[in-house]
């Protein structure tokens, strides 16, 4: 199984399971993860997701071996569209997602690590966007990065392609917690259980509004807040 699925009460743990490839994202794993996220979001018994990786790495990014075989432009375009849908899925979900970054997260793996709503990172892990060192661009993952990190820091990450350690990722606001490796899953699960305890309706409206207002001018963002306030009155106990 390239993607392990385990339920711990209302929390679903998804584990990228290609440790021999440092959990690199080939088409099969990308498709499996996207489908699982969508299926999980439709399951009202699941109130939070924890995403992590098997073995010493979280995710090495795109499977370069597979990419070298994508010589057909249409196949390459289809693969890029699949990657885009995966990174977009997190903000579209009602269910909150906590990423448990157990090891190196590079390129698309770094994008995946910060795509969740909250992130817990092992103190020994690293994040990085090494694409320019390979003569390519951190293209799809750049959109989310610049929304979470100041422009100067984001440009430094994608231009110099130098990995950063966990304390630096925390200082930049890319992750919420940095803990020893031995405590990673316990911390991530504890955070997930707190999120799972929140009303599903309240969480759905919070996520929807949060991702809307992040990209809106102030007046329009306040209007969205006003509209959400009206909707939530009908949910109040």
Catalytic residue IDs? 131
Alpha carbons 22 and 60: distance in angstroms, whole number: 6
- 175-to-14, 23, 158, 165, 198 alpha-carbon distances in Å: 19, 20, 17, 11, 21
Contact 81, 127 (CB under 8 A): no
Alpha carbons 131 and 159: distance in angstroms, whole number: 9
Question: Which residues have a Cβ under 8 Å from the Cβ of 6 and sit 6 or more positions away?
Answer: 12, 13, 15
For 111, the enclosing helix (H) or strand (E) is: helix 108-113
Strand partners, 15: 4, 52
Contact 30, 67 (CB under 8 A): no
Strand partners, 49: 12, 97
For 101, the enclosing helix (H) or strand (E) is: strand 97-101
């Amino acid at each position: 199984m390239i993607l392990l699925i385990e339920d711990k009460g209302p929390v679903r743990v998804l584990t990228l399971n290609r440790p021999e490839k440092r959990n690199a994202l080939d088409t099969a794993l990308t498709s499996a993860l996207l489908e699982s996220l969508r299926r999980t979001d439709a399951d009202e018994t699941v109130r939070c997701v924890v995403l992590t990786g098997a073995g010493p790495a979280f995710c090495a990014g795109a499977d370069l071996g597979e990419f070298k075989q994508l010589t057909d432009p249409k196949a390459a375009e289809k693969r890029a569209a699949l990657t885009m849908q995966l990174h977009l899925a997190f903000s579209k979900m009602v269910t909150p997602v906590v990423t448990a970054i157990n090891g190196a997260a590079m390129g698309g793996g770094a994008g995946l690590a910060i795509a969740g709503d909250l992130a817990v990172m092992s103190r020994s892990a690293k994040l990085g966007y090494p694409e320019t060192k390979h003569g390519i661009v951190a293209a799809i993952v750049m959109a989310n990065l610049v929304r979470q990190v100041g422009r100067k820091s984001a440009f430094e990450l994608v231009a110099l392609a130098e990995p950063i350690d966990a304390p630096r990722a925390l200082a930049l606001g890319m992750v919420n917690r940095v803990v020893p490796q031995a405590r990673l899953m316990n911390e991530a699960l504890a955070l997930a259980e707190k999120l799972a305890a929140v009303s599903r309706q309240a969480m759905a409206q919070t996520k929807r509004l949060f991702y809307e207002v992040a990209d809106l001018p102030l007046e329009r963002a306040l209007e969205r807040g006003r509209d959400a306030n009206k909707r939530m009155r009908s949910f109040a106990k």
